[in-house]
Amino acid sequence: MTIALHLVAGVEFNTLPQQLVNGVLLGAIYALIALGYTMVYGVLRLINFAHGEVYMLGAYVALFTSYFLGFRPDQYPTGSTVANLLIMLLASMVVCSLVGVAIERFAYRPMRGHSRIASLITAIGVSLLLQYGGALFLPTSPPPSISEKVNPYYGQSKTFALAKPSPALAQEAEKLRPATESAKASYQAWLSTHPDANEFELPADGKALKTTAQDTERKYQDAKHKLDTGGVNLIIQTGQAVMLIATVVLMGILTYLVLFTKAGRAMRAVAHAFDSAALMGVNVNSIVTFTFVLGSALAGAGAMMTATFLGTPLSTFYGLAPGVKAFVAAVLGGIGNIPGAVLGGLLMGLAENTVVWLGYSNYRDAIAFIVLIIVLLFKPGGLMGSSKVEKV
Amino acid sequence: MKFWGIRFVSIIIAIVACLALQAFEGGRSDYEQRIIVLIGLYITLAVSLNLINGITGQFSIGHAAFYQVGAYLTGFLTVTYFAKQPIHNLGAWLILMMVVGALGAAIAGLIVGLPSLRLRGDYLAIVTLGFGEIIRIIVQNQRILGGSYGMNVAPKYKSIALVWMLAIFCIAVCRNLLKTAHGLPFLAVREDEVASSAMGVNVTRVKVTAFLLGSAFAGAAGALLAHFEGFITPTTFGMDVSFIILTMVVLGGTGSITGSVVAAALLSYLPEYLRGLKGPDGQALQIAGYNVVAWLIAVGVAVALIRWAINNYHGPKAKKYGLYVGAFLVGFVVRYVTSFGLKFIPGLAAKLIPVDQVRMLIFAVALIVIMLLRPQGIFAHHEFSWSWVRRLFTRRPVPQTAVSA
């Protein structure tokens, strides 16, 4: 009970819609990364620990492409166009696909006959290799970030007023205004008649005027703040909206590829039964490569968009937290299940922003694991997956 | 009587050896003492993780969490209560703290172990990793434990003897478990959970026991670390520490205590060795970026060749080993040729990397290479034994068969 009271006490309900929208935007990115995890798991039954590092490399590729396009920190470029963004997106996606395919070919494929734990250890090894090896060669300090100038939508946003503040608040602020202004004016007038007065050692009359002016000003500002935060406003940055649209488009393309192409059908067959698919004439190796291309390209796209539109500073551990959260999202939705990954990603984003909204932003990285443990304990197959009984 | 006599004598020898080590190291530099202590602690950690991972087959990768619980619990108790309680002997207090740390970590192990019983394989791995991170984040947000700034543990107490006694005790417990009937259920669970359950093994009990024992040793090691260093931060117990302990277990051979000990000693000494390397100018040795890349390529080529030899060559053993040596030689040649070529890439040639920064890179490469070439680890399931040593020095009787005669 006390915990519940404590939870509610520090919460401002009028920021909830904004946090939920932020959650959806963040969740879309998690979903994009989670798709890579879930597809690889579906096909190979392998947790691709290095997926977060592919994401990290994607962000670095976007950074270098932006340098190449003339957006270095020591230059002063004027404007940018959508074409620049598209070039960066494409570069990230292509390089990430190549990296993903190389990881699969040289690290995972040789392990295919061995136990799943052996593959998992290899995956951890690849992940550490990219993190710490990358730290030796990629720029990390000071942490570079993609110039906001490359983003043509930088600073643009749209505000939606969902609910107006109550008129009583407006009246109160309005009531305080004349008193504030007159107090300020009289203090100014006093100052102008005493040009040699030191502002910090005023005589008694000047000091009284100054205190009144400050007090009334404070009360007025308080009322105004209440008025400003009394309504429910929703601010959506144009860049974030573009990011969401691009994510939806990419997911649409993925759905088309998986559901309506020959390779997609083969992929589903391999995910359903690896050995039988091979017996039916599916070229399993090329399908696995195809899966890694798709998953890594999505991670690259997600990395480029977060690095560009959110402007987070890069390091070689850039992919660690998003990678873990996206993996949790994939498990939450039911690993191996593509719509499940999207659902899980959105839920993860919402959960994280809810924790921030409750005032526990220090724990925003822990929530992923807490959700994961709860899900695995009560519904090991995830929300949209099905758990199988193990047979001897 | 002989059995207990040998036990008694070996315990006395172990204690005397630890005290002798303490007496020998007591007057030497702090740096050297720290290396000795870290090796002892990592041996405890690796062997205790091996009990969970290798012997019982439960893939846990969050071992640093238990280490952290032991360190923070006992550090907090020492800071708060040491001055107020009647034991004024720090050594005795530290032994008490080891027990408390072990109990605290064991409770944490129980909390992790019980719910994880339903999970296996990679899911269990992720959950243990998650528990580790949750514990770290919780500690990081407690002001009373120093938050992210860390906690001063005062008074600190350096005891090399206790560290090594703990390591030996941990090894002894695991070894005796493997050698006696009590250990058979653990091995059965590792080999096949469903089948062993059908044969009457209480799988739940075995798993929980493994988690309890493994985490208790890690907790005791944490208590020793906190009092040795006198200062602990949440980053001392990050994910990378868990991965380092895991690398030790995997490299040595999952299931082999000998392997864990050897790998722990080697891998915990490696960073200190690298840090101690001096270049020609007397400064810390630096390695050029192109050389690192050349080494990576060379390792890749050698590994590919050895894999090819493993898979495709079925001739006499001696020739096979000859092929392995050949692969290493090719690797060296590749390393020099590629470094000559890479030198002309301006970014790589100018980049100088202090040698001790490549530590985690070496761990990562070791992890991948060992998985590609020998997934069972260097020692596989083999253990060190005196009869093996004896066999090295005695001529093996040539087997006489009817055909050869």
CA distance B272 to B267: 9
CB A122 within 8 A of CB B368: yes
Distance CA A58, CA A28 (A): 17
Of A6-20, B108-122, B252-266, the one with minimum mean pLDDT is A6-20
**Tokens 């935007």, residue?**
A25
Q: How confident is the model at residue B170 (pLDDT cuts 50, 70, 90)?
A: very high
Averaged pLDDT score across all residues of chain B: 87
Q: Which range has the top average pLDDT, A64-68, A360-364, B272-276, B379-383?
A: A64-68
Instruction: Say how far apart CA B214 and CA B175 lie, in whole Å.
Output: 13
pLDDT range class, residue A1, cuts 50, 70, 90: very low
Closest chain B residue to the Cα of A325, Cα to Cα = B130
Q: Which long-range contacts (CB under 8 A, 24 or more apart) does A245-253 make?
A: A246/A89, A246/A301, A246/A305, A247/A28, A247/A29, A247/A31, A247/A32, A247/A301, A247/A302, A247/A305, A248/A28, A250/A32, A250/A298, A250/A301, A251/A31, A251/A32, A251/A35, A251/A342
- Residues of chain A whose beta carbon is less than 8 angstroms from a beta carbon of chain B are 47, 106-107, 110-111, 114-118, 120-122, 124-129, 131-133, 135-137, 324, 327, 331, 362-363, 365-366, 368-370, 372-373, 376-377, 380, 390-392
- Scan for tokens 């017996």, then name that residue: A279
Could you give the CA distance from residue A327 to residue A336 in angstroms, rounded to a whole number?
A: 11
pLDDT tens digits, residue range B271-317? 888 887 887 777 778 888 888 888 999 999 999 999 888 888 888 88
Would you state the pLDDT for residue B240?
85
* Residue A185, number of CB atoms within 10 A of its CB: 11
Task: Report pLDDT digits (tens) over B239-252.
Answer: 889 989 998 998 88
Residue A219 has pLDDT above 90, yes or no: no
Question: A85 pLDDT exceeds 50?
Answer: yes
Q: Which sign, positive or negative, has the C-alpha torsion B310, B270, B136, B239?
A: negative
| A-chain residue closest to B353, CA distance | A136
For B375, name the nearest residue in chain A, comparing CA atoms only. Answer: A118
- How high is the ipTM of this complex? 0.86
Look at B137 and A362 and tell me if their CB atoms are within 8 Å. Answer: yes
Q: Which tens digit of pLDDT belongs to each residue from B206-254? A: 999 999 999 999 999 999 999 999 999 998 898 889 989 998 998 888 8
Task: Report pTM.
Answer: 0.86
